[in-house]
Chain A
Amino acid sequence: MTLAAATNENLAHLSNTLIYAAMAVYTLAFFAYITEWIFGSRSKIGRTAAALTGDAAGKAQAPAVTVKNAGGTAVMERPKVVVRAAAGARDVPDGPGAHGGDEQGDLYGRIAVSLTVLAFLIELGGVLARALSVQRAPWGNMYEFNITFSTVAVGVYLALLALRKNVRWLGLFLITTVLLDLGIAVTVLYTASDQLVPALHSYWLYIHVSTAILCGAVFYVGAVTTILYLFKDSYENKLANGGTPGTFATSFLERLPSSASLDKFSYRVNAAVFPLWTFTIIAGAIWAGDAWGRYWGWDPKETWAFITWVAYACYLHARATAGWKGRKAAYLALTAFACWLFNYYGVNIFVGGMHSYAGV
């Protein structure tokens, strides 16, 4: 017993050390991303501008993928597919990314990603050590929820990179908030490691909370993209209407993917995780049915999960409704994410209810 207790204390200690170490490495990654953006600003790429302000009379008609027929030669190519944007959509090429095509910037970007991977592994170790020290899933209170949440958010980002999605530009925004999240976790929310009260003993807890964390991380990626979409869309609008955006906006936004790509990406991300969010709420209802004798009781946390769900359903509906696509839908997506955030922090801190044993 005493021996086991000592190991647990050691593990808890190790976990804390690892979390601090991860924060240090994330900070390095943060500076590397910043450097990438700074070097990138030397580039003079104005693809968006070129696409939108080239001569108005039918220039910039090039399809996203051009096909060159092997005309005249006997050598045949396999047929290539021509892809066209839908009517009304701007055909703007994606930006090159934060490094802006600058070689040194790209190098720093790669360093930043490597550091992010390293920090992620360290943080993951910290979360696992915490879990081992308490011999349960690492989400019994808000401190644990926060460290797990940021680990999963970075994990989602790295997974998208590993899938060769064009998301490296997300890095700076993500790492900034991860640092904030961890800062709050270790200062305000820290709770010494301990076990759970009986109401939290249920395998539904593992299912419900782990999917809730994953959904939150993915929704977060969607929300960041949506904000960037709004900026980029205004920028493109301004250009298209003959305006001249400021140099900072130009330098910053030119490097991001086109507004259409950002919009598509955030929709995909949100839509992909919506069924999982639905499942999370249902798993929570089943757990509540087991723990409290009713599967739905309009407890504040349940209510806000429902509000979040309806808000995302609104967003998905908006995209199928004429007149609500684009910016309006984007505002809905951000509102929905704000609901999620409020459910996560606001309800625990301001409202309370049966879920508040999660040890603020």
Chain B
Amino acid sequence: MSKTTPPDTASQRAEDQDLGAAGSQLSTAPQEDAPNLPTLGVIGWARWFWRQLTSMRVALLLLLLLSLGAIPGSLIPQSGTDATKVADFQQNHTILGPVYDKLGLFHVYSSVWFSAIYILLFVSLIGCIVPRSWQFVGQLRGRPPGAPRRLTRLPAYTTWRTGAEPEQVREAALTLLKKRRFRAHVAGDAVAAEKGYLREFGNLAFHIALVVMLVAFAWGQLFKSEGNKLIVEGGGFSNVLTQYDDFKSGNLFTQDDLDPFSFNLDKFTGTYETSGPNRGTPRTYQAAVNYSVGAYGKAKKTTIKVNEPLVIGDSKVYLTAHGYAPVITVRDGKGNVVFSDAVPLLPLDSNVTSTGAIKVMDGYRNAKGQKEQLGFQAAFLPTYGGGTSVVSQFPALTNPVLNLEAYHGDLGVDAGIPQSVYQLDKTNLKGFKDSKGQQLRKNLRPGQTMQLPNGAGSVTFEKGIKEWANFQVTRQPGAGWALGGAVTAIFGLAGSLFIQRRRVWVRAAKGDDGVTVVEMAGLGRSESAKVPEELGTLAGILYDQAPGAPDPQDLSEDTPDDTATPDSDAVPAEGAETT
């Protein structure tokens, strides 16, 4: 105890023997044995390797490696989260770029070496849990070990002399300990009791929960799917692959995994801060939808908000973006409507300055009666600031203006090359000219019409401006398991950290003078103030049932005086912390 250097191992081993089985098996932590190199062949090496891998020291090292390995992924751009940043980085760092690429530093969390660390860690974990669980079951089946020979050596100790008979004392102690939910039994002249198995149970549950979480996460990655769909107010979507604008999925995903449901966007509502330094910052975004599940499901109404996805089966429907979709009507020279639709535009900034294209693919004939296509480059400002301003001043529709540039010719949509719906391919298009011979371009307010020159027709910006919302539909199976694992992990951890596993022994035996001597001692896995406290309480109660007898005057020198002055070397519990 008062030693300033740890006792040499030889003497410690002797003491341990003295404590016998009493201090053993107070936990299921693997024994740290010195790495003695195997002399055997392949099997010997394999066994040696396995023991190393499942030792606490290696687990600690792997944990350290895991946290170190996670660092580069947070500092170097990752292709999984931001592919454009990765491209930028590679362009700017011609030397580092390829090196990083080779090392997998642009996708750290799916790289070979990062996977190797956590797979080793989890193999180690499983290799550790299985024997520990068996050991724990064995401990639950067995009985608490009997009292060590000298209870004075234990971290908490007390004694008194009593007039009661030893059997009576043991009986009382057994009842008391059992009432306090110790597992107790009489072994020889002492009662042996143990409590706090939940600590070990919690610890095992925690480590098992880690495995469950990892498996659930991996499962989710393999079977996940994620797609986007832009819907204009009034429009709808049903959950089949062809309806998505874009779609990503895990390696083992199949189409059949998509949950059958459909929904319509009834109305999108956005409100914005109207004053103060954060003027224009969005306050609420919500989409009123009605949806039905399965092929013949009944339609139900609900709202989807930014943090409140619609959950259907394993799928979640998130609101991820919104913008405006002006309603445009295009007429030919004879006044026939050739196009009438809401055209979603792409927002460019936080005030929803938007651009896009209106493409009239067929049905239009020009003034000469020839088939032609029309294209309009659109710029939209929900709040026009007046004058020549080309950016919106506020995200809501306070003063909407639509600027249109008119073209005719061939849109090039049949060329087979995928085309952005927001852009015009002007290679085969000719601009309409205004009276001054300039490109025809006009600012329209809702309800206004722009005439195309020479009887080519007209285009009208209709009054009811619609909004669109983008929905992300994700499906991540195994999330429930991950959550279950996480909750178990927390409770297991709490049990493992806050519950003390401890043993109490009560010895009652006749002393040399025929008076009963009661000795009580407590031992915890880690030293804690609670063990002596609890022992004190127990002793107090037992003392009332077996009250003290006066010390014999003549024997005062003879009585085991180490009751008051314990030995200099206390015996720690196996692996006990010096906390």
Query: What residues make up the interface of A, taking CB atoms closer than 8 Å to B?
Result: 51-52, 58, 60-61, 63, 66-74, 76-91, 192, 194-195, 197-199, 201-202, 204, 236, 240, 260, 263-264, 267-268, 271-272, 274-275, 278-279, 282, 285-287, 289-300, 303-304, 306-307, 310-311, 313-314, 316-326, 339, 347, 351, 353
Interface centre among A72, A194, A295, A321 (most CB of B within 10 A): A321
Which residues, 1 to 22 on B, are CB-close (under 8 Å) to A? 1-7, 12, 15
User: Binary interface profile of B, 493-524, with partner A (CB < 8 Å = 1, else 0)?
Assistant: 11001100000000000000000001010000
The reply to whether A297 and B70 form a contact with Cβ atoms under 8 Å apart is no
Apart from the given pairs A70-B551, A88-B6, A282-B490, 20 other A-B contacts in the complex at a CB distance below 8 Å:
A58-B568, A61-B1, A69-B564, A76-B550, A79-B520, A81-B536, A84-B155, A86-B1, A86-B155, A90-B3, A192-B277, A197-B281, A201-B306, A268-B579, A274-B497, A285-B486, A289-B316, A295-B482, A317-B60, A321-B56
Query: For the complex, what is the distance from the CA of A90 to the CA of B4, rounded to whole Å?
Result: 5
The reply to whether B74 and A304 form a contact with Cβ atoms under 8 Å apart is yes
| Interfacial chain A residues near B7, Cβ < 8 Å | 87-88
Given the known interface contacts A197-B282, A290-B308, the answer about A82 and B63 at a Cβ–Cβ threshold of 8 Å is no
| Interfacial chain B residues near A300, Cβ < 8 Å | 74-75
B309 within 8 A of A: yes
The reply to whether A198 and B570 form a contact with Cβ atoms under 8 Å apart is no
Partner of B226, one of A70, A88, A293, A299: A293
The reply to whether B3 and A86 form a contact with Cβ atoms under 8 Å apart is no
| Interfacial chain B residues near A317, Cβ < 8 Å | 56, 59-60, 63
| Interfacial chain A residues near B226, Cβ < 8 Å | 293
Partner of B80, one of A298, A310, A311: A298
Which residues, 299 to 342 on B, are CB-close (under 8 Å) to A? 305-309, 316, 318, 320
B425 within 8 A of A: no
| Interfacial chain A residues near B487, Cβ < 8 Å | 282
| Interfacial chain A residues near B540, Cβ < 8 Å | 78-79
Given the known interface contacts A293-B316, A306-B70, A307-B70, the answer about A87 and B572 at a Cβ–Cβ threshold of 8 Å is yes
Which residues, 554 to 579 on B, are CB-close (under 8 Å) to A? 556, 563-566, 568-572, 575-579
B109 within 8 A of A: yes
Query: For the complex, what is the distance from the CA of A278 to the CA of B495, rounded to whole Å?
Result: 14
Using CB atoms, name the residue of chain A closest to B63.
A314
A-B residue pairs, 5 tightest by C-beta: A88-B6, A240-B4, A76-B548, A86-B572, A310-B67
Using CB atoms, name the residue of chain B closest to A286.
B483
| Interfacial chain B residues near A198, Cβ < 8 Å | 282-285, 305-307
User: Binary interface profile of B, 460-501, with partner A (CB < 8 Å = 1, else 0)?
Assistant: 000000000000101010010011001101100110011000
Partner of A81, one of B66, B284, B532, B570: B532
Q: How many residues of B contact A (CB 8 A)?
A: 100
B263 within 8 A of A: no
Which residues, 31 to 85 on B, are CB-close (under 8 Å) to A? 32, 56-57, 59-60, 63-64, 66-67, 70-71, 73-75, 78, 80-81
The reply to whether B2 and A51 form a contact with Cβ atoms under 8 Å apart is yes
Partner of B74, one of A60, A272, A320, A347: A347
Query: For the complex, what is the distance from the CA of A12 to the CA of B63, rounded to whole Å?
Result: 45
Query: For the complex, what is the distance from the CA of A282 to the CA of B488, rounded to whole Å?
Result: 12
The reply to whether B479 and A321 form a contact with Cβ atoms under 8 Å apart is no
Given the known interface contacts A90-B3, A293-B309, the answer about A84 and B64 at a Cβ–Cβ threshold of 8 Å is no
B432 within 8 A of A: no
Question: 5 A-B Cβ contacts within 8 A?
Answer: A60-B2, A82-B158, A195-B283, A303-B71, A317-B63
Query: For the complex, what is the distance from the CA of A299 to the CA of B74, rounded to whole Å?
Result: 7
B217 within 8 A of A: yes
B159 within 8 A of A: yes
| Interfacial chain B residues near A290, Cβ < 8 Å | 307-309
Interface centre among A63, A69, A82 (most CB of B within 10 A): A82
Using CB atoms, name the residue of chain B closest to A5.
B275
| Interfacial chain B residues near A353, Cβ < 8 Å | 81
Interface centre among A236, A287, A319 (most CB of B within 10 A): A319
The reply to whether A310 and B156 form a contact with Cβ atoms under 8 Å apart is no
The reply to whether B158 and A294 form a contact with Cβ atoms under 8 Å apart is no
The reply to whether B2 and A90 form a contact with Cβ atoms under 8 Å apart is yes
The reply to whether B497 and A87 form a contact with Cβ atoms under 8 Å apart is no
| Interfacial chain A residues near B494, Cβ < 8 Å | 275
Using CB atoms, name the residue of chain A closest to B285.
A198
Nearest CB of chain A from residue B297's CB, rounded to whole Å: 23
Query: For the complex, what is the distance from the CA of A217 to the CA of B543, rounded to whole Å?
Result: 44
The reply to whether A91 and B1 form a contact with Cβ atoms under 8 Å apart is yes
Interface centre among A52, A72, A80 (most CB of B within 10 A): A80
Query: For the complex, what is the distance from the CA of A291 to the CA of B498, rounded to whole Å?
Result: 34
| Interfacial chain B residues near A296, Cβ < 8 Å | 217
Query: For the complex, what is the distance from the CA of A60 to the CA of B80, rounded to whole Å?
Result: 62
Partner of A264, one of B5, B479, B563, B579: B579
Query: For the complex, what is the distance from the CA of A194 to the CA of B284, rounded to whole Å?
Result: 15
| Interfacial chain A residues near B307, Cβ < 8 Å | 198-199, 201-202, 204, 287, 290-291
Query: For the complex, what is the distance from the CA of A32 to the CA of B518, rounded to whole Å?
Result: 52
Nearest CB of chain A from residue B15's CB, rounded to whole Å: 7
The reply to whether B576 and A86 form a contact with Cβ atoms under 8 Å apart is yes
The reply to whether A52 and B4 form a contact with Cβ atoms under 8 Å apart is yes
Given the known interface contacts A71-B551, A72-B551, A72-B556, the answer about A278 and B493 at a Cβ–Cβ threshold of 8 Å is yes
Partner of B571, one of A87, A306, A324: A87
The reply to whether A195 and B157 form a contact with Cβ atoms under 8 Å apart is no
B29 within 8 A of A: yes
| Interfacial chain B residues near A292, Cβ < 8 Å | 318
Nearest CB of chain B from residue A258's CB, rounded to whole Å: 12
Which residues, 263 to 286 on B, are CB-close (under 8 Å) to A? 273, 276-278, 281-285
B205 within 8 A of A: no
Query: For the complex, what is the distance from the CA of A261 to the CA of B74, rounded to whole Å?
Result: 37
The reply to whether A303 and B74 form a contact with Cβ atoms under 8 Å apart is yes
Query: For the complex, what is the distance from the CA of A199 to the CA of B276, rounded to whole Å?
Result: 20
The reply to whether A69 and B1 form a contact with Cβ atoms under 8 Å apart is no
The reply to whether B2 and A307 form a contact with Cβ atoms under 8 Å apart is no
Query: For the complex, what is the distance from the CA of A163 to the CA of B568, rounded to whole Å?
Result: 33
| Interfacial chain A residues near B63, Cβ < 8 Å | 310, 313-314, 317
Nearest CB of chain B from residue A61's CB, rounded to whole Å: 5
